[in-house]
Structures are given as C-alpha cells and as structure tokens.
C-alpha cells in the first residue's frame, strides 16, 4: 500500500454533506478548509491525514466513485438505485431518512390494483420502471419530469407519481396521498471497487469506526 496516497471523498452537496462531515468529525476526521463557507476551492485537503474532499451534485457522486475519481462517496439510496453504478455499498449512515413512494389522488388506488395501463411521472424513471415492471408486473408509461412532479396528476399529465416522501405535507396540500411504498431511503457510504482492494485496511478501519459511532 502506498502510504502517501490520498483517500478521496465525494460528498453530495447540501444536508448530506453537512451530516457526513459531522459524523466524520466524531471519529476524528476533520477538514477545516471545508468550514470556510466563502472558499471558492473545489477540492479540500487534510494533509496530516492524507485525505481529500470535494462536493458534487448527488447524481454525480456514484459516477466519481465508479470511475475512481473518488475512493469513497456519500449519497442517498435513491441516487444509487437510479444511477445503477458499479460500486460497493458498505454502510447505511442512518440519516436523510425518507421513503420512495407511489403517490396520487385517492381514486388512483384502484388503477394500481387492477394492473391497468397507467401513466407515471417521476424524477426517478429507473426506480419507477423497476418497481412497476419487476415487482408489480404492471405495464406503465413512464414520463420523466425534472421539476415538481406533484403537478403531474394535478394537470392530467399522469395518473400517479413516484417520488421521495419525507413528511407528506406537500402531497396533502395538493390533494395527493401515498398509495404504495416502493422502498425506504437513507444516506449510504459507497466505495470504489479497486480502492477497496488497494487500500482495504484504511477503508475498513474507517467503516468500523463509523459503525461504532452510530
């Protein structure tokens, strides 16, 4: 093992990154540079511990990890399922908990029971497809949306949506409800497959410390 090699972390911007940094700090891994909110830097370094960190959009984290630009990543389970990258998922960090659900107006519940051909709007077409085709064996027309998917059923674009639900308040405010749960979600730690072979002691030691801290 190369003692001088850096271990690089890719973190999904926002709440997940903040929570991850708090958790890492609890096991003695800090990166003071990242606390400077005015910094324009893209890569932050802890020379003493030979660590590098960078922030990216959630969907890009598994890509950086799969291709070895980052050794370790932290991202939501929803992104992992949607992106389908070849990485090792090593730890459920337990925060960022929510659910992926099929939602819609209450009358759409009947459409889900009878395996009718329906239209499904989602930011997560791969997750929606896997759920309807492989779990429910229901043929559906999946429409990818990037914005507020709740609009789908309201304006008549779709019968239901597949989306992340935290509290459900946005759904209720718009006359929609959770009809079926697809899967539970939370933040996950992922590792590049080659990195796991090249630096197993360092990475496994980190996973062990985090597991004990949680």
Helices (H), ranges, 11-150: 15-26, 61-66, 77-83, 109-113, 125-129
Q: What is the pTM of this model?
A: 0.89
CB contact burial 51-89 (16+ within 10 A = b; e otherwise): bbbbbbebebbbbbbbeeebbbbbbbbbbbbbbebebee
Pair of tokens at residue 205: 């030691």
Q: For residue range 91-124, what is the model confidence (pLDDT) as tens digits? A: 999 999 999 999 999 999 999 988 889 999 999 9
Q: For residue range 44-92, what is the model confidence (pLDDT) as tens digits? A: 988 888 999 999 999 999 999 999 999 999 999 999 999 999 999 999 9
Select from 152, 162, 168 the least CA-distant residue to 182: 162
Q: How confident is the model at residue 40 (pLDDT cuts 50, 70, 90)?
A: confident
pLDDT at residue 209 in the model: 92
The yes-or-no verdict on residue 33 having pLDDT over 80 is no
User: Average pLDDT for residues 21-31, to the nearest whole number?
Assistant: 89
User: What is the average pLDDT score of the chain?
Assistant: 92
pLDDT at residue 2 in the model: 53
Pair of tokens at residue 94: 């337990």
pLDDT at residue 31 in the model: 77
Which of 84-88, 113-117, 138-142, 187-191 has the weakest average pLDDT?
113-117
pLDDT at residue 3 in the model: 57
Rg (CA), the chain: 20
The yes-or-no verdict on residue 1 having pLDDT over 50 is no
Distance CA 175, CA 78 (A): 24
The yes-or-no verdict on residue 29 having pLDDT over 80 is yes
């Amino acid at each position: 093992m190369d003692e001088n090699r850096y271990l690089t972390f890719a973190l999904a911007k926002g709440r997940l990154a903040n929570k991850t940094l708090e958790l890492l700090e609890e096991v003695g891994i800090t990166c003071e540079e990242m606390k400077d909110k005015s910094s324009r830097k893209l890569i932050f370094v802890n020379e003493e511990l030979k660590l590098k960190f960078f922030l990216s959009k959630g969907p890009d984290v598994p890509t950086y990890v799969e291709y070895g630009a980052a050794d370790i990543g932290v991202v939501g389970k929803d992104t992992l399922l949607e992106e389908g990258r070849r990485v090792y998922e090593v730890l459920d960090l337990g925060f960022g908990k929510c659910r992926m659900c099929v939602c819609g107006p209450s009358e759409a519940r009947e459409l889900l029971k009878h395996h009718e051909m329906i239209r499904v709007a989602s930011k997560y077409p791969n997750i929606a497809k896997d759920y309807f085709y492989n779990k429910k064996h229901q043929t559906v027309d999946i429409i990818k949306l990037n914005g507020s998917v709740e609009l789908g059923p309201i304006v008549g674009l779709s019968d239901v949506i597949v989306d992340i639900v935290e509290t459900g308040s946005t759904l209720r405010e718009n006359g929609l409800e959770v009809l079926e749960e697809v899967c539970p979600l939370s933040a996950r730690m992922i590792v590049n497959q080659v990195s796991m072979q090249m630096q197993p002691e360092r990475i496994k030691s980190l996973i062990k410390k985090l597991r004990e801290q949680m």
